[in-house]
């Protein structure tokens, strides 16, 4: 089990690293990162619909999946608008307004489509559940993860498409992924060896208080390591010692919250893993769960750090 997790993690990290490098040096945008998100959204939504059906819930899975994929594409186009920053603040605001209309408009169309399909199905007693579940899928598996993509375009002035965004945004994505997933690794390894007291016995029986504490400590240590001059992933100009500690702790605890959120869905469906696509982990949902919450937290926290 541990060997499978290490092997799968190494493979995924290698692919993601190659994609991030290609985006940074060749495309100079987030094309491949969005491609990763497109594939991940497809598998995550497919797993989510299965979890919902396990409890007999109505879903509009075809529309929900197509909408999720379309939202990824619309988001990529909007971010290209964001990255085309003008020479002055007025131009930046104009670009942001245009991009915001693309994102919010696409989400509105996706939600309205669910209402239309519900009316056509004529199963009115189940309509409320179908509407709620499909919209939850879009919010949980598209809206929240989309902040990680926005983070990729964040400049060192705290604005989307701001100054030095290609370099600074790449560093913020790397830091968020490393810290949140590093928290998982520390919690898993220490929890297996030293864990004795259950932290969330009903929701996530495998998590221990010792593991959670180790995960948070590991998150802070990773943030400090990423701040070191020889790595400079968290630039010292924006991230002083205290800020780096706060950032590491917040990303670590948000990653744990993301993991618990997915555990809540699985417990509700009565399954251990979302699927068996990824050896050693389970489903794609089991891989990205911590990033679902860590992404939004990082996106709003980084400008505060600046």
Tell me what pLDDT residue 194 has: 82
The total number of structural domains that make up the chain:
1
Nearest Cα residue to 102 out of 83, 74, 82: 74
Tell me what pLDDT residue 269 has: 77
Percent composition of the chain: helix, strand, coil (DSSP 3-state, to 5): 75, 5, 20
CB of 278 within 8 A of CB of 287? yes
- Mean pLDDT per 10-residue interval, the chain, length 306 residues: 68 82 87 92 92 82 92 89 60 74 89 86 72 90 93 88 88 94 87 80 81 92 93 90 95 93 83 72 83 94 90
Range of the domain at 216: 2-305
Tell me what pLDDT residue 145 has: 92
> How does DSSP classify residue 11?
H
Nearest Cα residue to 179 out of 103, 274, 256, 242: 256
Tell me what pLDDT residue 141 has: 93
Tell me what pLDDT residue 3 has: 63
Tell me what pLDDT residue 199 has: 79
**DSSP assignments along 275-294, one per residue:** -SSBTTTBSHHHHHHHHHHH
């Amino acid at each position: 089990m541990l060997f499978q997790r290490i092997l799968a993690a190494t493979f995924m990290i290698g692919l993601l690293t190659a994609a991030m490098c290609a985006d940074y040096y060749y495309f100079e945008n987030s094309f491949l990162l969005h491609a990763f998100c497109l594939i991940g959204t497809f598998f995550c939504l497919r797993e989510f619909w299965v979890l919902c059906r396990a409890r007999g819930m109505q879903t509009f899975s075809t529309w929900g999946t197509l909408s999720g994929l379309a939202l990824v594409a619309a988001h990529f186009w909007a971010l290209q608008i964001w990255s085309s920053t003008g020479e002055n603040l007025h131009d930046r605001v104009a670009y942001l307004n245009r991009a915001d209309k693309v994102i919010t408009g696409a989400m509105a169309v996706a939600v309205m489509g669910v209402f239309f399909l519900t009316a056509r199905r004529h199963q009115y007693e189940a309509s409320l559940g179908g509407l709620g579940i499909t919209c939850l899928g879009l919010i949980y598996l598209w809206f929240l993860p989309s902040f990680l993509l926005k983070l990729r375009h964040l400049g060192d002035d705290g604005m989307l498409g701001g100054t030095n965004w290609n370099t600074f945004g790449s560093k913020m994505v790397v830091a968020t992924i490393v810290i949140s997933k590093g928290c998982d690794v520390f919690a898993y390894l220490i929890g297996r060896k030293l864990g004795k007291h259950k932290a969330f016995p009903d929701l996530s029986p495998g998590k221990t208080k010792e593991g959670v504490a180790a995960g948070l400590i590991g998150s802070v240590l990773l943030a400090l390591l990423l701040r070191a001059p020889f790595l400079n992933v968290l630039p010292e100009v924006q991230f002083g010692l205290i800020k780096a500690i706060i950032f590491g702790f917040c990303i670590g605890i948000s990653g744990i919250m993301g993991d618990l959120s997915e555990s809540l869905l699985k417990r509700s469906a009565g399954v251990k893993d979302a699927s068996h696509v990824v050896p050693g982990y389970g489903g794609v949902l089991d891989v990205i769960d911590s990033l679902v919450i860590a992404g939004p937290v990082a996106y709003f926290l980084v400008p505060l750090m600046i």
